[in-house]
Amino acid sequence: MTSSKSGVRQWVSKTWEQFTTVPMLGWLLGALVAAILENLVGNTFARLVGMSKAPVLFGFDIALKTPLLIPSAICYVLVIYLLPVFIVARALRDPLNKLAAALLKYPIVVSAIVHLGVLYAALHIWSSLNDYRALVVKLILIAVILTLSLNVVNGYMGEFSCSHPGFMALGAYTASVLSVLFFVDGSVFGDALLPPAIGPFIFPLILILGGAVAALGAILVAVPSFRTRGDYLAIISLAFMFIVKSLIENLEIVGGPRGFRGQPDWANLPTVFAWTVISVWIINNFVRSTMGKALCAVRDGELAASSMTVNTSKTKMIAFLFGAFWAGVAGGLFAHVLRYVNPSTFGVQKLAEVLAMVYFGGLNSVVGSIFGAVGFTLLSEALRALELYKWIIIPVLLILVMIYRPTGLIAFREFDVSAMLQPKHKKEKEVDDAAASS
Amino acid sequence: MMPLLQVENMTHFFGGLRAVHDYNLSIEKGEVRGLIGPNGAGKTTIFNLITGVYKPSEGKLALDGASIVGLQPHQIASMGIGRTFQNLRLWRHMTVLEHVRLGRYSKITYGLVGAFLGTPQRHREEAEIEAHAMRLMKLTHTDRFANTVVTNLPYGVQRRVELARALATEPKILFLDEPTAGMNPEELIDMMNIVREVHKELGMAIFLIEHRMKVVMDLCERIQTLVFGEVIAEGAPEEIRNNPQVIDAYLGKEVEA
Ligand SMILES: Nc1ncnc2c1ncn2[C@@H]1O[C@H](COP(=O)(O)OP(=O)(O)OP(=O)(O)O)[C@@H](O)[C@H]1O
Ligand SMILES: [Mg+2]
């Protein structure tokens, strides 16, 4: 019995070993092939295994609504997604390792762009199946920006800030008002002030202004709370969130509690993807620099940090405004993806969501935040069919994470892009093992 | 010529408690000075006053002739006073290398743009910072722990990390608050050798607080004895060792040992 069990385990670990040497490029290409395959035969295959059409989010929805179809959903995921990914990853392993090595002969940007290109292609094809998928992908990307920016404050800097929905609202409304005021005819503000055709090119500037307004709001929170240490920030930032919300609710010009609609359709997938990549890149650059490390030093010991020449109050201020800026940008994107904003979106529930993504993914970790945002958003969409029970399952999961990994699933990990893009060669040890066993 | 560090008539009260009274100190470039005294005498308070953690109730402080009264700790540190802490104050989630690198903070010139965008200038500076940190880690025998998170290190090594980190600020004068506290004899010898090596190699002035007589007597050129916030004796190790007031107030049997 035990021998057969260990036999299985050995087989699994042997098979997995085959894949430890697959470079990142292999996995991405695998995903691309799977997405193409689904596009070609997804619906046909789904009908073959008894479903009416290809499942939208890995079959969770179908499995929860009609449990009888669980085997079909599993079968679909295996055949359409997993099998192609693993086959492609394994089959192209060696040439792709060579390619990855060749790419690194050029500046790292080249390799990064190739990887991102393949990733984007896979996302694009996968999300083209229907509008819901496209929306989910965009919301996930925005959640990544939001989570990461909050991690800068709550993780790297170790303060507890609750004002992120407020910053997001400032960014969302600023960007919405600007784009409608300048580029939309016949809105509440009258006709467009500038030709609508140039709008998409000004959009980045509009988002940046949204971020800037959020950062201005952050000054209001930071000045009173960073004077003294302690829990002031948590309280003041929470108050700030409520103030922003009720301010907007009472601002009739932007629709008050009814919300504000009519944002131009500029936030397409490539735009949102590009902003997400830029924000991850900039935030990761920052937290890995010695200036960014100063944040962690302030968190772990302010007195020691200042004795090592770190201007602690300036450092905290910069990081807080930086986080708020990206929350504002995320807000602007959010408003243009939904093309409608409503003050009630930016309340306690949003706060709970962002905090959950940060703490679920892992403090002080860029990979953790990406994982947290993607995982949490997918989970929350996947469990949508459960309605009320969703809000029991998700908190329970969070509590479990907090108990077993108090700092989150992937905490305190460096996001080393250049290590990720390296070709993966067989390790010495594995070669030895293989020689020993034969 | 004006001394590197000059403290005149410094007095400090904690509420009603007079922790330091009429304290004077003048340290020249490259000197090694010691400060001894019983528990609660006010030694650490003197360090905290000079490094800007507390603002003295009265008195003048000047570094290189410029007054440093009322400056923030980070300003005083960038002007050239580096320090270690009696109760280790390392950053518990960070590696040894990250600690030592951070000591170079005030030397960074690439600014926020460099931090955000990863400009060539930043890469150049970060490489220099790393090389400098590696040199200091070699000097303090902490280099083989470069990528270890400090909480996983033995106590003696942690003390040396504190020293390396303080050295990274390029101090003109280095304050060591009981650098050998809690060390075993082996670690103690190691630490003394490192301090000597550091002084020989980098040549800064050193001002150290110690409880172990052997360490102060061996390392320091001049020693002050502090009791209840007041200096009761100042002089070369020999004078201090034989000063009846010092023996009475503080040394007692330790000297004979
Ligand atoms: N922040 C503070 N507030 C109030 N009293 C303080 C403070 N810091 C120190 N003291 C008091 O000042 C006196 C001197 O303390 P200090 O820490 O400077 O002594 P020390 O000579 O370094 O002693 P040790 O050898 O134990 O380190 C003590 O009575 C201490 O209780
Ligand atoms: Mg002390």
What mean pLDDT do residues A225-243 have? 85
- Give the residue from B49, B105, B161 with the most A CB atoms within 10 Å of its CB, the best one to mutate: B105
Q: How open is the CA angle A182-A187-A191, to the nearest 5 degrees?
A: 55
What are A144-191's pLDDT values in tens digits?
999 999 999 999 999 999 999 999 999 999 999 999 999 988 778 888
Q: List % helix, strand, coil for chain B (3-state, nearest 5).
A: 45, 25, 30
Q: Tell me the CATH architecture of domain B1-80+171-257.
A: 3-Layer(aba) Sandwich (3.40)
- Cβ of residue B49 lying under 6 Å from some atom of ligand 1: no
Q: What is the pLDDT of residue A228?
A: 66
Task: Provide the pLDDT confidence category of residue A99 given band limits of 50, 70 and 90.
Answer: very high
d(CA B14, CA A204): 55
Provide the 3-class DSSP secondary structure of residue A178: helix
Query: How large is the average pLDDT for residues A255-279?
Result: 94
Question: What Rg do the C-alpha atoms of chain B give, in angstroms?
Answer: 19
Residue A438's pLDDT is 40
Range list for CATH 1.10.3470 in chain A: 131-419
Give me the phi and psi of B171, to 5 degrees please: -70, 145
Global pTM reads 0.91
Q: How far is CA B143 from the centre of its chain?
A: 21
* Nearest partner of A84 among A22, A40, A127, A32, judged by Cα: A32
Q: Which residue has the higher pLDDT, B122 or A428?
A: B122
* Residue B2 confidence (pLDDT): 83
Confidence (pLDDT) at A5: 63
User: Rg of chain A's alpha carbons, rounded to an integer?
Assistant: 24
- Secondary element (H or E) of residue B146: none
Q: Given this model, what pLDDT does residue A229 score?
A: 62
Per-chain mean pLDDT for chain B: 92
Over range B179-206, report the average pLDDT: 93
In this structure, are strands A260-261 and A340-341 parallel, antiparallel, or unpaired? antiparallel
Token pair in block for residue B252: 């007692």
- The domain segmentation of chain B, as residue ranges, is 1-80+171-257, 94-170
Average pLDDT, chain A: 90
The band of B124, judged by pLDDT with boundaries at 50, 70 and 90, is very high
Question: What does the alpha-carbon distance between residue A87 and residue A78 come to, in Å, rounded to a whole number?
Answer: 12
What's the pLDDT band for B256 if we cut at 50, 70, 90?
very low
- Chain B within 8 Å of A4 (Cβ-Cβ)? no
**Position B4, amino acid:** L
Which of B43, B48, B210 to probe ligand 1 with, by most ligand atoms within 8 A of CB? B43
pLDDT score of B200? 95
| b/e burial code for range A373-397 (CB count within 10 A of at least 16 → b) | bbbbbbbbbbbeeeeeebeeebeeb
pLDDT score for A230: 64
Tell me the average pLDDT across B121-125.
94
pLDDT at residue number B87: 93
For chains A and B, what is the number of CB pairs under 8 angstroms? 98
Residues 78-117 of B with CB under 8 A from A: 78, 82-83, 85, 89-94, 98, 101-106, 108, 110, 112, 114-117
CB contact under 8 A, B108 and A306: no
Exposure string over B161-184, b if 16+ CB within 10 A, otherwise e:
bbbbbbbbbbbbbbbbbbbbbebe
pLDDT (0 to 100) of residue A435: 47
DSSP-assigned states of every residue in A202-251: HHHHHHHHHHHHHHHHHHHHHHHHHSS-STHHHHHHHHHHHHHHHHHHT-
pLDDT band per the 50, 70, 90 thresholds, residue B255: very low
- We find that the CATH architecture of domain A131-419 is Orthogonal Bundle (1.10)
Nearest partner of B91 among B140, B151, B164, judged by Cα: B151
Give the ipTM of the model, two decimals please: 0.92
